[in-house]
Amino acid sequence: MASSVAPVSSQAILLPVTAFVSVLLSIIPLVLHCKNRNVAASSLILWYILLNIFNIINALIWPTDDIDSWWDGKGLCDIEVKVMIASYVAIPGTLVCIFRTLAQVLDTSRANLVPTQSQRWWNHAVVLSFCAIAPVVAMLTHYVYQSNRYILYAIAGCLNNYDRSWVTLVLAWIWPLIICLMAGYYCVIVLHRLTKYRSQFGDILQSANSNLTKSRFMRLFLIAFIMLWAIIPVQTYVVTSNIIVTQPWHSYSWSVAHPPDWNEVIKVPVEGHVFYDRWIPVASGYMFFIFFGSGRDAFVMYRAILVFLGFGNCFTSLQSSSANGSSASGSLGSRAKLLFNRRWTTTARAYSNNSADASRSAHDYHDIEKDAVSPGKQSKWRSRYGLRWFLRGRPSAPNRETAIPLRHMAEQTTTVHTNAWAGVSQSRGSSDHGAAPLSEDHIRVKQVIKQESELHV
């Protein structure tokens, strides 16, 4: 009956559907940024996900202009209007934090390998201020200029109503634009440093104490850049239009801003049209997917999800693709395990003449007692630190040391000889130490360790 009087418009169907898809597309980028501990980008995605959830709920509850059958929205709308007020400040604030972080990464004059504790606390304080404290303050001060409880629009749902005074400009309308200008300031700094250090861009990212690669840096910068220069004109239009519409302003008074009918809910039909600002969160979700949901890390996560759901049994290529995708990230971890695996014990050098190698090693171990820098000592030194070269991924070449697991060798024998003696005289070759003669009440101890390894390959 109500549908014949007030039919559901196409926008009332399109908005919740596209908002739902936008929420789904934003999940993977949100997870990736949470894994990378990018608080500002994670907060940006969360705010837009929350606004899209409001779009879905409101379009389903108030889809038509039949205002007589509408629910008054008490409770739900009280929460929504506060969250929307907070989002007007929080979203530009996240952009400030993103551009500020990118500017710090490219700041070569203050680059630190490990930031100090005060620097870390200051960075955390800035992110917390823009992403959490400022939105909470905006919600608390909202009641000062809130001329009535809220307004109900068809499809769009709950909207705020403002007092027509200068207090609304000072506490509400001007701050999103100011924060956007702050983000624009840091954006210009990033652009300047990108131009200045374009040839050393990769080296700066590697030396910076961040988890940003070239791809992550540019994707994060581009999406923040697009959003910023889309929000600044919108905020400018909102401020100027609100100032014009609310003229003439009256002097602020608490009783005027909160009249006796303050709790009355105003219901407004829209004839099937939706406010333009409801489409901004929808478009943002698709942008998140384009910039962050189509990267290498995202595809690895997609494959892992499909394998977890059992599609790997139907499509064997998912198993191999998942293994290949994780090999790049797991190669460093597998190499690092070599440092703690006892079965990977030493390095070996291949020589064509085994007898010459045996005679050379006997001579070299004899030179160790005299602190001579011999080839055998160098081989022992490289054997000790050979894993460092392996972890760096140096290509092997002929007559160069390569890490070989001893368990893979055909035959191996190791003999360790230890001799130790003590005496009050220098009759046991104590002069090898190059020390002065000792008195009879002193005891000199000398220990010789000899190790021989025979490898049959």
Domain count, the chain: 1
pLDDT at 402: 47
Task: Tell the burial category of 267 from Cβ atoms under 10 Å away from its Cβ (0-12, 13-18, 19+).
Answer: middle
- State mean pLDDT over 144-152: 92
In a domain, 74, yes or no: yes
Banded pLDDT at 456 (limits 50, 70, 90): very low
In a domain, 451, yes or no: no
69-73, 292-296, 429-433, 444-448, range with the lowest pLDDT: 429-433
Q: Which pair of tokens denotes residue 154?
A: 């068809």
- State mean pLDDT over 344-360: 42
In a domain, 163, yes or no: yes
Q: What is the mean pLDDT of the chain?
A: 75
In a domain, 120, yes or no: yes
In a domain, 72, yes or no: yes
Q: Identify the CATH number of the domain in which residue 165 sits.
A: 1.20.1070.10
Banded pLDDT at 39 (limits 50, 70, 90): very high
In a domain, 202, yes or no: yes
pLDDT at 324: 52
With tokens 């929504």, the residue in question is 80
Asked if residue 396 has pLDDT above 50, the reply is no
Parent domain of 70:
10-318
In percent, the amount of the chain with pLDDT more than 90 equals: 40
In a domain, 5, yes or no: no
pLDDT at 299: 76
pLDDT at 112: 60
Residue pLDDT, tens place only, 152-201 = 999 999 999 899 999 999 999 999 999 999 999 999 999 999 988 887 87
In a domain, 381, yes or no: no
With tokens 């620097």, the residue in question is 119
Distances in Å between the Cα of 47 and the Cα atoms of 83, 211, 216, 240 are 9, 23, 21, 25
Neighbours of 378 (CB within 10 A): 11
